[in-house]
Structure formats: structure tokens, C-alpha cells
Amino acid sequence: MKIFVCSICGEVYLGRAMPASCPFCGVTARYLKFAHDWEDVNAGVILSEKSRKNLEEAMQLELSNTAFYFCAADKLTNKEASKMFKGLAKVEREHASIFRKLLKMESASEFKEECPADPADCIEQSYQREVRAVAFYARALTEATEARIREVFEAIMNVEKDHIALDEEMKKKFEK
Ligand SMILES: [Fe+2]
Ligand SMILES: [Fe+2]
């Protein structure tokens, strides 16, 4: 068994081999480190006003998406769609927690979101949420002057691009 640490979310994965992506926040394996090589790069980051504002917006966006995805996971009776949304909810919850930690906040208030009862409608709304997220991160990335913040925004933006690809696959399956 080996000990891997994600340099974006800081979570630990114990496994026989390096996974293709972080099982918690979904970033690609290039951000995974062996525990003995890992360093806490968040500690020394001093945030600009702009980045603080963008991190707060990122956290709200992720909390809203988390709530929407948990709603869909609970409401949908289709197994595959429900499990997909449960997986997405956990990833987006991890994203919210990455931003909360960068903002040095102890806790964040929970969100409540409504969701449709039909899988195709949930997938369509998910697609729109993910497109909005990618556009937001692309802008936040150019506005960040701190190397660490740019690194985090870029890594998370690429996870949301993977979510768009997943939604596109699922849209075909659930076409009405
Ligand atoms: Fe996310
Ligand atoms: Fe996402």
C-alpha cells in the first residue's frame, strides 16, 4: 500500500497504485504526490482582495452545485443518474471545502437547492451549472496574481470540464 496526497484538496488516498485522478476532488493524477514529497503550499499564501472575492464566489458556486446534486441524487429513481449525481455532489463538496480552507474559514453555511424529478432535466441543469463554472474559473484564473490560486482555479476548472463531458454523455442516454 502507498500513501498519496492531493496537492489541490490535501486529501489522503491509500492504495496500491496511483489513481488516474484524485478520488476526492477529481483533479488529474499530476497533482497527486507521495506523502513524503507533499508540502503544505497553502500556508504561505497571501490573498489579494480580488482573489479573496473570487474564492468566496467559487465557494458559493460549489455549495450551490453540491446542494443541487444531492437533491438530484435523492430524488431520481434511475440508478445510474442518481449515482452520477451523488458522485458529483461529493466532488463539488470537496471543491467548496478547498476554497473554504484557502479563505481560512472554519465552516460555511449549507445551501438548499431545488431540482427536477426527471433525469433529463437534471442533466440539462447540471450541464448549464458546469458551463457556468468553467466560465467563472477561466475568468478568476486570469484575475489571480498568486501562483497557488491560479494553480487551484486551473485544476478545478479542468475537473468541471470533465463534468461537462460526463453530462454530454449522459444527455445522449437520457434523451426524451
Ligand atoms: Fe466543482
Ligand atoms: Fe462540476
C-alpha of residue 15 to centroid of ligand 2, in Å: 25
Collapsing DSSP to helix, strand or coil, 30 comes out as helix
- DSSP one-letter code for 144: -
Q: Which residues surround ligand 2, an ion (CB under 5 A)?
A: 130, 160, 163
3-state secondary structure (DSSP) of residue 156:
helix
Distance, CA 69 to ligand 2 centroid (Å)? 10
pLDDT score recorded for residue 64: 98
Closest by Cα among 72, 67, 82, 66 to 115: 72
pLDDT at 176: 77
CA of 65 to the centre of ligand 1 (A): 7
Encode the chain (176 residues) as per-residue pLDDT tens digits.
999 999 999 999 999 999 999 999 999 999 999 999 999 999 889 999 999 999 999 999 999 999 999 999 999 999 999 999 999 999 999 999 999 999 999 998 889 999 999 999 999 999 999 999 999 999 999 999 999 999 999 999 999 999 999 999 999 999 87
CB 9 within 8 A of CB 25: yes
| pTM over 0.75, yes/no | yes
Burial class, 142, CB count within 10 angstroms (exposed 0-12 / middle 13-18 / buried 19+): exposed
How many angstroms separate the alpha carbon of residue 38 from the centre of ligand 1?
Answer: 23
User: What is the reported pLDDT for 11?
Assistant: 98
> Domains of the chain: which residue ranges?
2-37, 49-173
Grid-cell match 500513501, residue found: 3
| Residue list, CB under 5 A from ion ligand 1 | 62, 92, 95
Secondary-structure class of domain 49-173 per CATH: mainly alpha
If one looks up domain 2-37 in CATH, what number appears? 2.20.28
Residue with cell 514529497: 37
